Chain A
Amino acid sequence: SQKIEQNSEALNIQEGKTATLTCNYTNYSPAYLQWYRQDPGRGPVFLLLIRENEKEKRKERLKVTFDTTLKQSLFHITASQPADSATYLCALDSNYQLIWGAGTKLIIKP
């Protein structure tokens, strides 16, 4: 069956360290994958898109990797700050629709 999985438990990281979130999928062959941030009571906000032919994408302190062999995307936040605390969702393309992971709650402790 088709599945997309993110760390189900909250991730606690010390301020200033690098936070790494994982998105694994099975039985999909996505042309691209997107990462979103969601704060309580708000809708998801787009962060980054990475295509199947791209290994890595960066935006300021954010970095996303995409390994189509491992069927995995990693999302990194370097020099993490308490303001980075939120739930992060990955979404992959499947026939022009986005299939969403359940999200990982990230907590950055000062």
Chain B
Amino acid sequence: DAGVIQSPRHEVTEMGQEVTLRCKPISGHNSLFWYRQTMMRGLELLIYFNNNVPIDDSGMPEDRFSAKMPNASFSTLKIQPSEPRDSAVYFCASSLDRGSSPLHFGNGTRLTVT
């Protein structure tokens, strides 16, 4: 099992540009989570999906952020337009279900917006 795969590993972009982060969860996992990690705020849940359906997007900071999960093996997180304060490491994680199943994280995308 390759684990959760995220791309790109690093993204540097200018303010105002669109950014798309990609995630392939572990096959058979029903829940997918997008997190953001910064030194100041730690790990913050942005959105999570269960069976490809968005369940809770209350952590999405504003309308500039959107996430999709068109099928069980792919999800995207899009920021449009990007701002310097969006600079962070973005993690995707998947788990077997919504309950107490452990989360399996990808290695993240380090986003820098200049």
Contacts and interface: CB of A to CB of B under 8 A. Distances in A.
Interface string B53-76: 000100000000000000000000
Contact of B45 (A45, A93, A98, A103): A98
B100 A44 contact: no
Nearest to B40: A102
A97 B56 contact: yes
B100 A97 contact: no
A96 B104 CA distance: 16
B25 interface: no
Contacts of B98: 96
Contacts of A34: 100, 102
A25 interface: no
B42 A43 contact: no
B42 A101 contact: yes
A101 B91 CA distance: 16
B102 A46 contact: yes
Contact of B43 (A31, A45, A89, A96): A89
A51 to B, nearest CB: 8
Contacts of B45: 97-98
A34 B100 CA distance: 9
A103 to B, nearest CB: 7
B102 A43 contact: no
A102 B41 CA distance: 8
A65 B101 CA distance: 19
A45 B4 CA distance: 12
Nearest to A44: B105
Contact of A41 (B42, B102, B105, B107): B107
7 contacts: A31-B100, A43-B105, A46-B102, A49-B102, A96-B98, A96-B99, A98-B45
Interface of B: 4, 42-43, 45, 48, 56, 91, 93, 98-100, 102-108
